Structure 1
Amino acid sequence: MSTGMIIAVIVVVAALVLAATLVMRGRGRQGGPDLKRRFGPEYQRTVARHDGDAKAAERELTERLERHGKLRERPLEPAEREQYSARWTAVQERFVEAPREAVAEADRLLSDLAAFRGYPEGGRYEEQVAALSVHHAQHVEGYRRVHRVGQAGPGGGAGESAAGTEELRTALMDARALFDDLMNDSAPATGHRSETATGTGDDTRHQSSGKAGMFGKSHPRGV
């Protein structure tokens, strides 16, 4: 190979390397804002979990996107929708007499519903939550909360105190937002908030089946 040919090859390779570097830098500049928009509160939570290291958090979130971004939720048939709605109504009604057991059942219900829609099975909780965070970033924290409280048990988990009734109630309300999202076949990948989950307290708009309020018809005020 002549000297001129060698120089030409070197120039071409250098140009390709420069172009690739510029593309990667461009993606890096866009990564932060894009990930912030997609993940919303989940972005901030992940940054905090990495002690403020945004780059480490973005690497984790990018990996989640690569693993779960192409997941497509399985549609719910009317009978299936009614089945899950009935289970949630039973959870709400049970909360009046047995709030801790109701929250534990809500945890199982979300796990079952997510798996039915095509997410990893509930036995792989961390992976299921990671996948949900990609497609339901606004509400996945509600699942974490009801899982944490539901798994703690009457005496609390290691280093934790048992949750009080108000904490259980709040956990169930937070979980309801994700339940509504998973029941909604038209929910977009991010930023969705079901209209049925915008109320608070005993608001009877927290419905899927229309059979009971957030905590059953006999739910006392202040619980």
Structure 2
Amino acid sequence: MAGRFLEAVRVVRLLTTVHGKRTIPSMIRAAETRTRELYSAIGRRIRELREKKGLSLQEVAERSGFAKSYLSQIENLKREPSLSALSQVAYVLGVDVLYLLTGELQNPLPESLTIVRREKRKRIDRAPGSPSYLYESITYNRPGRLMEGFIVTLGSQFPPEPFVHEGEELAYVLEGKHEFVYDGRSHILEEGDCYYFDSKKPHFGRALGKKQAKILVVFTAKKD
């Protein structure tokens, strides 16, 4: 009995102490703080760009295809936007989507061909609307592009809510196995599988099994 008690104490200590004095609750709070700061910065950049261009929320809503209330919630940190939604808003505001995410302006390149080396991918942790996903942009250095491309590593949990946005999407499974739910129906996909769909219907996914699930995602947004 004493041995079991000591083992239980050891497990509790392991669960409550990480990297010296940092506890799991404190790490969770720190992550939540970073996430709030990210969404706050995104909302601030959208508002600043919108006002600089003399656009009202209603005008941006009409041009992007989103409801005025939805955009207001993003600006006021009451809604976590999806990456595809931010891409559409960025297009309307005349900036690269990575500017909304990072504040970095991309310099236009004159070449018709652009290349992104593996080590030069733009990594985005805890992307908006996808707290369990990790995104790596592979198209960020192409000015005026009509498509957004990402290497996406899926987490083991679904996002808080499905993604719904204008455009179409293509996904190719690079590694692992995952569940993809599209318009209420579940599909199990494995390495080498490919799927193409209308993004206007609800969709999201999560990794299955012990191996990470990594997919190549390319999507377009309706741009007038």
TM-score, normalised on structure 2?
0.26
Normalization by structure 1: what TM-score? 0.26
**Larger-gyration structure (1/2):** 1
